[in-house]
Structure 1
């Protein structure tokens, strides 16, 4: 069997962590409304259930980003990076709420997170629910005011908001971001991937950073689940992964 590369190894470790922590919770059950199956849902809608879902999303998104990167589709990979940025922050945010005490901001986050798209699947337009959202700046502020995350709250929060805004351009299709696709020996829009361009290497490094951040956030999640041994193993693995960083 071929040896795994560090990226594959990391995502396998992370997937195993999700599956392990899933066993600590009652499993999701099929939800029916007026005789129509809505899909699997957790009966309890607490922070641990939200953390597990965010962790699963991170592993899937990392693998999707890697596939896009390998094909040179760095614009689309960058859009997934924005999703990863939020999901990894959310894991830390919810985990710290468990460790240090849940705030009203955590309660509001969970209310918005678990709300269904509509109340009755037979009448989706008439029963559509309005989902609110927590301003990302408030989550950034919470994370960097927490002693477990930062010794310089104002700078840390500003950096997080800058990264968040920079990736928004890939999500929403801002002109400066789209124009990164324009170039080549005969300048034109590169619409079949940008594998052999200088920007590609930057995105390789960028994805590596999101894997590393994901490992750290999974360690924080293990702490929230009360598994100190798993937390320490994830932190040790993060140091091992750090040594494999591409130069």
Structure 2
């Protein structure tokens, strides 16, 4: 399922498929047509973030015919689940601001955010402490607007001072709905925004099929009608069922 550069992508998975999502993030870091990679671990478990910090330095990629470490072009933003909730909310903004910094220098940036569901949970907790009016499942009413504001910071721009120089940001956001329920507010809001999404299938992962992307529930389309059709397909597919 291809995605255009400077677009935004949602990676839909259940909690049991965190390893598969991490494998895809590593593959994107290694093989994507980008100059800079920004990886944000938002609300990750401590052991998962430790694996990321140990795996990424061992990855290499070919640049101009030379094998170079991926860490030479990678920025990691680490935020574990035991950190303050305000830090969890800020981690996403820190990552995308870092990506914009490199974009303004004329680089093509690939940003991975894992996961936006935990970021939304931080928004919900902060909203509750501020006594704001809750919406679906206790999330704030502005959840969709915040998600749209984040994803729409991707794109291609002409850099200031040199119109011939262009930079871009491609955002890949992982969504991990609790219980594999793809009808929860975060997933529904994300699917109404993104232009491409990849759905991971637990059955494929159990068969050692990696990456476990199920093309039947994924879509590379950017049209609104296609996204609506794909969302209907997801709601009627037990892609994270263990049956």
Tell me if both proteins adopt one fold, taking TM over 0.5 as the criterion. Answer: no
Q: RCO (CA 8 Å, sep 6+): is it higher in 1 or 2?
A: 2
Specify which structure has the higher proportion of strand: 2
Which structure would you say has the larger Rg?
A: 1
* TM-score normalised by length of structure 2: 0.28
